[in-house]
Structure 1
Amino acid sequence: MALDLFAGIPVTEYAAALKWYERLLGSPPAFFPNDTEAVWELAEHRYVFIEQRPERAGHALHTIFVDDLDAIVAQITERGLDPAERETYSNGVRKTTYRDPDGNEIGFGGAPL
């Protein structure tokens, strides 16, 4: 069975969110479905998108697991964003969380060191 994933993030101000997510994800969007939506392809058939929906903004919770968490966090820091939170779970899995201007949480997780 073929599977595509689109994880949505509602935002209040599209233009400001677009700039913030470009810094977080390190690239411009892969495509724009319309004037108030932008889509990034994180991996084949795996997408995250922002959409101007002020009435729902601030409630997204997404975690993206990566091979090299330290490298991703360093790259995001170089682009001017600092994590809101860092956690290490009892099994050693680590998670670094960022919050956009609306309060949406985007976490990056990685295996134990």
Structure 2
Amino acid sequence: MFEHVLAVIAVRDIDSADGWYRRLFDRPADNNPMPSLVEWQVAPAAWLQVTVDSERSGSSLFNVAVGDIEVFVEAARSRGIDFGDIVDANKGVRLSTVSDPDGNSITAIGGFREQY
């Protein structure tokens, strides 16, 4: 069985991306294993890796389920991360999306459940 899950965001400039994701997570990266990669542990066995990959940059998707989407989005906005309007999706799920400087899509999900 899997021990960890790692999502990967492809970017052009690691220094610029590192600053933007620091603001998103409101903390520095947990790990910097090589010059072209920074990592945040986002749950006990889940990590987000931000890495230089110019060919794939701008095509990554990252979804994160949050407890209170209004609080999360407002806090992110206060740090300069301009999430869009919160919209109703389906079955009580609500979404808000932002693009990082490379155009990668990050979606906050409120009302997420393991089963619907």
Structure 1 residue aligned with 2:55: 55
The residue identity in structure 2 corresponding to 1:11 is: V
Distance 2:109 2:61 in 1: 13
1: distance between equivalents of 2:38 and 2:75?
21
State the Cα deviation string for residues 16-43 of structure 1 (Å, max 9, x = none): 1110111111110000110010000011
**SS of alignment partner, residue 54 of structure 1:** coil
Farther off after superposition, 65-74 or 18-27:
65-74
Map 1:66-81 → 2, pairs under 5 A: 66-81=66-81
Provide the aligned C-alpha RMSD in A: 1.5
* Letter in structure 2 aligned against 1:12: R
Do 1:85 and 1:98's aligned partners in 2 also have CA atoms closer than 8 Å? no
Matched, 1:97 2:92: no
More divergent stretch after superposition (50-59 vs 83-92)? 83-92
Instruction: Report the CA distance between 1:86 and its aligned residue.
Output: 3.3
In structure 1, the residue matched to 2:15 is: 15
Following TM superposition, the consecutive aligned residue runs of length 4 or more in structure 1 with deviations greater than 2 angstroms are 84-87
Question: Cα offset for 1:87?
Answer: 2.4
Helix, strand or coil: the match of 2:28? Answer: coil
Letter in 1 for 2:67: D
Question: Gaps spanning 5+ residues in structure 2: where?
Answer: none
Q: Percent identity?
A: 30
Shift of 1:85: 5.0
Q: Which runs of 5+ in 1 are unaligned?
A: none
State the TM-score, normalizing by the size of structure 1. Answer: 0.91
Superposition TM-score, scaled by structure 2 size:
0.89
1:11 offset after TM fit, Å? Answer: 0.0
Contact 1:24 1:76 in 2 (8 A): yes
CA distances 1:23-79 after superposition (whole Å, capped 9, x unpaired): 111110000110010000011011001001111100111111111211211110110
Instruction: Letter of the 1:35 partner, please give it.
Output: P
Q: Which segment is superposed worse, 42-51 or 82-91?
A: 82-91
